[in-house]
Amino acid sequence: MIPASNTVPYTARPWVTGCLIALCVLVFVYQLTLSAAAQEAFFRAYALVPARFTDGSWSASQGLARWDLTPFLTSMFLHGGFMHILSNLWTLWVFGPALEDRLGPGRFLALYLVSGLAAGLMHVVFNYSSPVPTIGASGAIAGVIAAYARRFPYAWVNILQPIVIVPVFFMMPALLFAGFWFLSQVMQAAGSLALPAGAGGIAWWAHIGGFVAGWILVRRLAPQANAADEASAAAHSALWPWTTWMRWTRWWWRR
pLDDT per residue as tens digits for the range 38-70 = 999 999 999 999 999 998 899 899 888 888 999
Q: What is the mean pLDDT of residues 172-176?
A: 92
DSSP secondary structure of 142-210? HHHHHHHHHH-TT-EEEEEEEETTEEEEEEEEHHHHHHHHHHHHHHHHHHHTTSPTT--S--HHHHHHH
Q: How many domains does the chain have?
A: 1
pLDDT band at 234 (very low <50, low <70, confident <90, very high): low
**Taking the model in full, what pTM does it have?**
0.86
Predicted confidence at residue 195, as pLDDT, reads 65
Predicted confidence at residue 246, as pLDDT, reads 46
Domain enclosing residue 36, as ranges: 2-193+200-254
pLDDT band at 78 (very low <50, low <70, confident <90, very high): very high
* Residue 217's CATH number: 1.20.1540.10
> Poorest-confidence range of 117-121, 133-137, 165-169, 249-253?
249-253
pLDDT per residue as tens digits for the range 92-105 = 999 999 999 999 99
Predicted confidence at residue 191, as pLDDT, reads 83
Q: How far apart are CA 92 and CA 74, in angstroms?
A: 17
Provide CB contacts within 8 A for 159, sequence distance 6+: 1, 2, 3, 4, 169, 170, 171, 172, 177
Predicted confidence at residue 230, as pLDDT, reads 58
Q: What is the mean pLDDT of residues 119-124?
A: 96
Predicted confidence at residue 82, as pLDDT, reads 94
Question: Is the confidence at residue 24, as pLDDT, over 80?
Answer: yes
Question: Is the confidence at residue 3, as pLDDT, over 50?
Answer: yes
> Does residue 215 contact residue 147 with C-beta atoms inside 8 Å?
yes
Distance, CA of 163 to chain centre: 24
